[in-house]
Amino acid sequence: MNEKIKVLVVDDQYVARSFFEIHVEMAKRYELAASLANAEQAIAWCMEHPVDLVIMDVMMKYGLDGLTCARIIKSNHPQIRIILTTSTAEARWIEKAKKARIDSFWFKEYSEIPLTEVMDRTMNGESVYPGIPPNPDFGEISKYDLSERELEVLRDLTRNLTNEEIAEDLHLSPYTVKRHIENMLAKTGYKSRVDLAVNARVLGLVVHEDDRMEKKIWE
């Protein structure tokens, strides 16, 4: 009998973690090695235990983010296959994951490919990435009705930055930032910059890199 593929699940959300656990346990080829709520713990686990496949979320409440930890695991254990996942629609992480040689990337809320298929294809040596990034609705439009520059401004808005702070960060003038915000309000139908920021965060439309990489401390 062939030995089952050992899977490490890493997600700080209990519901998502349970979802991954069920998929692993129901698939005949796989067995659950461990289920962790902290990405840094995954680094240590991979050093001390046999692991064939890691399924890990990008965003973490505490400690290092999943993308950073996946990069560390991959550099130390290139034979371990890794599937990064996210419930957001942030597409910039796709290229970052590819540069880190992460095997596959799966959008929890938007992928048309079942997770088990991604697991099988990844373990068969294929790199599975979405052909088209998610394009969720945002007010009266969809995400990619916004320009790349508008999305950059929107990422800074989700950090509650002023026009002057956004202008400094993106090397623009405050007037240009103000114009981009006004254009986004006109396109989406939202009434204020606060509406833009709140809805972008709630929908996971964009995520600022500071939100992904900020190291939190256990309370």
pLDDT digits (tens, 9 = 90+) for 64-93: 999 999 999 999 999 999 999 999 999 999
Q: What angle do CA 80, 83, 85 make, to 5 degrees?
A: 150
Q: In the chain, how many domains are there?
A: 2
Q: Assign 217 a pLDDT band (cuts: 50, 70, 90).
A: very low
Query: Percent of the chain scored above 90 by pLDDT?
Result: 84
Domain extent for 178: 137-203
pLDDT digits (tens, 9 = 90+) for 150-161: 999 999 999 999
pLDDT digits (tens, 9 = 90+) for 108-125: 988 889 999 999 999 999
Whole-structure pTM value = 0.89
Shared-domain flag, residues 33 and 106: yes
Shared-domain flag, residues 154 and 101: no
Given a cut of 80, whether residue 28 has pLDDT beyond it is yes
Shared-domain flag, residues 166 and 117: no
- The pLDDT, as a whole number, for residue 129 is 96
Given a cut of 60, whether residue 216 has pLDDT beyond it is no
Shared-domain flag, residues 71 and 108: yes
Question: Is the separation of the CB atoms in 139 and 205 below 8 Å?
Answer: no
Shared-domain flag, residues 32 and 78: yes
Least confident range from 103-107, 110-114, 169-173: namely: 110-114
Q: What angle do CA 105, 111, 113 make, to 5 degrees?
A: 90
Shared-domain flag, residues 112 and 181: no
Letter for the amino acid at 23? H
Report the chain's mean pLDDT, rounded to a whole number.
93
